[in-house]
Amino acid sequence: MQATVSCIARNLGARGLSATHFRLVAVFWCANSYVALGPGSASVGTFIAQDYISMTSAALTGRILSVTAGVTLTTASIHAPRMLSLASTQPSYTTSFNMMRAARFAILAGTALTNVGTSIITGDVGSYPGAITAGEPNWATLNGIDFGALAQSAGAQADLPTIYAAMISHLPSAKAIASSLDGAVLTPGVYTCGTHCSLGAVVTLNAQGDPNAVFQFITEG
């Protein structure tokens, strides 16, 4: 399965919420193969893939987690909001999944984490069992902790198969939608795009005023 994203919703969960309690809704992208976030994309959510994940001239508010392969950034920006309480006035994620020890990571790779260009990462990063080969001395600007292949990364990687299995278990109840989501307006739920999911235009995820709304997208290929 392939999840190739060129532009994902910029209008997530803000409808019907007061400014002082604005929260990012939970958006999950679960790929049985790879994920590629392409040039000009502005994406939101947790991307978890069995294979590699790449970001090229792309921006993400969320996290990227590769179960078995590497993560490559090319002049990319990723910001992982902290998991905060409902009473917080800062943007945060709600989640219907227990992200276990992976919750603290903005990026978690299964082999290597490689960076090319002037990427910016807000959040912790790790890679296990592979090492982080961040193209030093051209490493990204990191506003977080680089755990490399330390115990924190190993523990989080050990949890990823369980997290992935929890997400993919929703596939039987998922609503089938077109593989191209260009211009779609979707309400909370579980969706499957078949063997791949591609977006070339803005997609609006309408939380309908629910701060605990969850959107999940699964590709099967």
pLDDT reported for residue 7: 34
> pLDDT tens digit string along 184-205?
888 889 998 877 777 666 778 8
With 0-12 / 13-18 / 19 or more C-beta atoms within 10 angstroms meaning exposed / middle / buried, residue 18 is: exposed
pLDDT reported for residue 179: 81
Q: Are 215 and 24 in contact (CB under 8 A)?
A: no
Determine the Cα angle at 81 with ends 80 and 84, to 5°: 145
Determine the Cα angle at 66 with ends 63 and 69, to 5°: 145
Domain total in the chain: 1
For the chain, residues with pLDDT lower than 50 are 1-23, 84-93, 137
pLDDT reported for residue 138: 54
> pLDDT tens digit string along 33-53?
888 888 888 888 899 999 999
Q: Are 217 and 29 in contact (CB under 8 A)?
A: yes
d(C-alpha 15, C-alpha 11), whole Å? 8
pLDDT reported for residue 23: 43
d(C-alpha 40, C-alpha 31), whole Å? 21
- Could you tell me the CA-to-CA distances from 143 to 53, 57, 94, 140, 172 in Å, in that order? 20, 19, 22, 9, 39
pLDDT reported for residue 51: 92
Q: Are 40 and 59 in contact (CB under 8 A)?
A: no
pLDDT reported for residue 24: 52
pTM of structure: 0.84
d(C-alpha 132, C-alpha 19), whole Å? 38
Domain that holds residue 77: 2-219
pLDDT reported for residue 204: 80
pLDDT reported for residue 1: 35
d(C-alpha 4, C-alpha 9), whole Å? 14
Count CB neighbours of 65 within 10 A: 26
E-state strands within the chain: 2-5, 26-31, 34-37, 42-49, 53-56, 59-66, 71-74, 77-79, 105-109, 113-116, 120-122, 124-127, 141-143, 175-176, 185-186, 189-192, 196-199, 204-205, 214-219
